[in-house]
């Protein structure tokens, strides 16, 4: 048993299968993964590895409830209730509750909403959890500064930012709360070396604080810097060989 396994798991994936049925292509069914199983403990960073297209992103999205699950269970420890809850049932309210308090997600690209300033985008998860706007804005500003976003951009909507700037807003938003489980999908893909290092430091801090991280990192140095272990998704692949 590893040191991490002494603590109760925060995420447990069990027998998960997923396929896509493309009705616009005559009902063609594309199996993606089957029998996906792994567990996450506090302080662990588990990296989903494997070649492009094997299903890493799909697994991440299923864990967040963004993709439906054909079979299996995805148990997330509910931060408020303490018990494990199965997110794979697809019950919208359960998923929303878990997303609010227990499991966070940093996507690869920021989905920019018109008219909302970068600062408000980052502060929103705190405001949604009842924190006063001022305090949330202050914390958001601190995060953005740490990620080297110029203060002049704080009040602007991110729609016109560069890819790297948008991603830093995205990361700040994802890291600002204290969700016990964090899902990261290629967080450093559009960042330069300096900011990559900042993100690595932020990931380490989260891990030290007991957060469990499940991530996809194509960037080898970053992966090496943060990964506790790598789960090879090819083992779960349901695809026939190309």
Partner 1 sequence: MSDPILSVRDLERRYGSFVGCTDISFDLWPGEVIAIVGESGSGKTTLLNCISARMERSSGTVRYRMRDGRFPDLAELGEAERRFLMRTDWGFVHQNPADGLRMRVSAGANVGERLMAVGQRHYGNIRRTAGDWLERVEIAANRIDDKPVTFSGGMRQRLQIARNLVTHPRLIFMDEPTGGLDVSVQARVLDLLRALVADLGLSVVIVTHDLAVARLLSQRMIVMKGGRIVEQGLTDRVLDDPHHPYTQLLVASIPEN
Check: CB of residue 104 under 8 Å from CB of residue 179.
Answer: yes
Work out whether 6 is an interface residue with partner 1 (CB under 8 A).
no
Burial-class residue 146 by CB neighbours within 10 Å (0-12, 13-18, 19+): middle
Work out whether 30 is an interface residue with partner 1 (CB under 8 A).
no
Query: Sheet harboring 212-216: ordered strands across?
Result: 103-106, 181-185, 212-216, 45-49, 229-232
C-beta closer to partner 1: residue 67 or 196: 67
Work out whether 92 is an interface residue with partner 1 (CB under 8 A).
yes
61's tokens: 């999205």
What does the alpha-carbon distance between residue 158 and residue 117 come to, in Å, rounded to a whole number? 7
| Least Cβ distance, residue 2 to partner 1 (angstroms) | 33
Work out whether 96 is an interface residue with partner 1 (CB under 8 A).
yes
| Least Cβ distance, residue 18 to partner 1 (angstroms) | 9
Considering only residues 3, 8, 22, 30, which one is a binding residue for partner 1 as defined by CB under 8 A? 22
Work out whether 116 is an interface residue with partner 1 (CB under 8 A).
yes
Please report which residue ranges of 176-214 form alpha helices under DSSP H.
193-208
Considering only residues 14, 15, 19, 67, which one is a binding residue for partner 1 as defined by CB under 8 A? 67
Work out whether 115 is an interface residue with partner 1 (CB under 8 A).
yes
Largest CA distance in the chain: 54
What does the alpha-carbon distance between residue 17 and residue 14 come to, in Å, rounded to a whole number? 9
Check: CB of residue 189 under 8 Å from CB of residue 215.
Answer: no
**Which stretch, 87-95, 166-174, 190-198, 210-218, contacts partner 1 (CB under 8 A)?**
87-95
C-beta closer to partner 1: residue 27 or 150: 27
Phi, psi of 113 (to 5 degrees): -100, 130
**Which stretch, 8-16, 89-97, 192-200, 226-234, contacts partner 1 (CB under 8 A)?**
89-97
169's tokens: 């807003």
Work out whether 117 is an interface residue with partner 1 (CB under 8 A).
no
| Least Cβ distance, residue 67 to partner 1 (angstroms) | 4
Work out whether 89 is an interface residue with partner 1 (CB under 8 A).
no
Check: CB of residue 119 under 8 Å from CB of residue 154.
Answer: yes
Residues that bind partner 1 (CB under 8 A): 20-24, 61, 65-68, 90, 92-93, 95-96, 113-116, 127-128
């Amino acid at each position: 048993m590893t040191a991490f396994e002494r603590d109760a798991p925060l995420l447990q994936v069990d027998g998960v299968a997923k396929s896509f049925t493309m009705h616009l292509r005559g009902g063609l069914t594309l199996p993606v993964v089957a029998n996906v199983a792994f567990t996450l403990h506090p302080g662990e960073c588990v990296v989903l590895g494997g070649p492009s297209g094997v299903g890493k992103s799909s697994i991440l999205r299923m864990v967040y409830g963004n993709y439906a699950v054909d079979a299996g269970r995805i148990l997330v420890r509910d931060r408020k209730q303490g018990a494990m809850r199965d997110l794979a049932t697809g019950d919208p309210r359960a998923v929303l509750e878990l997303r609010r308090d227990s499991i966070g997600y940093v996507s690869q690209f920021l989905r920019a909403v018109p008219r909302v300033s970068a600062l408000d985008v980052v502060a929103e998860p705190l405001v949604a959890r009842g924190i006063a706007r001022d305090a949330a804005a202050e914390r958001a500003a601190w995060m953005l500064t740490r990620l080297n976003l110029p203060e002049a951009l704080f009040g602007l909507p991110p729609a016109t930012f560069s890819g790297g700037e948008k991603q830093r807003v995205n990361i700040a938003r994802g890291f600002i709360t204290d969700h016990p489980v964090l899902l990261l999908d290629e967080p450093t893909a559009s960042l330069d070396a300096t900011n990559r290092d900042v993100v690595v430091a932020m990931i380490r801090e989260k891990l030290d604080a007991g957060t469990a991280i499940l991530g996809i990192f194509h960037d080898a140095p970053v992966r090496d810097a943060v990964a506790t272990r790598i789960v090879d998704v090819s083992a779960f692949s349901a695809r026939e060989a190309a």
